Amino acid sequence: MELAWGEDFTALAEVSKSVFARYSPLEDRSNNVLFADQVSQFAELGWLQLGDANGTDEDGATLGTIAAVFVEMGRALAETPLLDLTVARDAATLVGTATATELASRIGDGEAVVIPTFLTGNWGSAVAIDGGTASGRVLGVGFADRADSFLVHAVDIGESLLLHVDATDANVEPMPNVGGYPMFSVTLADVTVVDGRILARGADADRVIDRASQRGAVMRAAQVYGAGMRLLDTTVLYAKQRHQFGGAIGRFQAVQYLCTDIA
């Protein structure tokens, strides 16, 4: 993967900053932008079609350029489905079949809200296929309550499958968390596995899931990087403005060390 900032990084970052200001709880805590409006705006901006997961589009934005969007999303602490939709679109693009390509196009156009439910760490259990039905539970899935469908990593006697499952076939439950992030568990119970639901299997499924997950991890890291920058800026500003014992607290080395740790 190309991890250096792309040449269009700065220009894209400026546009992203203005867009995410609308969604940021730091700007207006009463702000309540509809989920559908977010998806629609991302589609209009072309952000649901940024780059090429196959790495074959010479005219496409590099991962280093795409990172600009996610840095600014993190800086605004904005809760949006952009990362989830991007990973789903990447996975569908990597599959490359006519059915998957059509799905990727619908995601890119904002017509379909497809959320990946790939396992993260040790959260949840692998979705297992037994007797032609899929069952299992995946935890920590963002925006699952808004999904039209899910991309599911399932295992059938040691062989990986990438399934496309309608949201109506899954049970979605909220997972309350300190940050108030829209996080859910997604449970499949005896969902019939038919050919139309299988996008890829075996080595192809492993390749698609691994590559899409890796790209997603880089974009998530960019988001965390942006959040860290916002934390640093906010902390330094507070250290300059907060006065105690006759001056700004930023003059104390103990406070300076804490700011240095953030940096």
Q: Average per-residue pLDDT in the chain?
A: 88
Structure tokens that stand for 212 in this block = 């899409």
- Greater confidence (168 vs 65) lies with 168
Residue 248 burial (C-beta neighbours within 10 Å; 0-12, 13-18, 19+) = middle
Give pLDDT, residue 5. 63
Give the residue-averaged pLDDT of 206-232. 93
Q: State pLDDT tens for residues 3-21.
A: 456 567 888 888 999 999 8
Q: State pLDDT tens for residues 107-164.
A: 999 999 999 998 766 666 679 999 999 999 999 999 999 999 999 999 998 899 999 9
DSSP reduced 3-state for 181? coil
DSSP reduced 3-state for 121? coil
Give the residue-averaged pLDDT of 232-255. 91
Give the residue-averaged pLDDT of 90-101. 95
DSSP H helical ranges for 58-158: 63-75, 82-95, 98-108
Q: Which residue has the tokens 């894209």?
A: 12
DSSP reduced 3-state for 71? helix
**Percent helix, strand and coil across the chain, each rounded to 5?**
50, 20, 30
From the list 75, 68, 73, 80, the residue with the least C-alpha distance to 37 is: 80
Can you give the pTM of this predicted structure? 0.88
Domain 9-234 fold: Butyryl-CoA Dehydrogenase, subunit A; domain 2 (2.40.110)
Percent residues over pLDDT 90 in the chain: 70
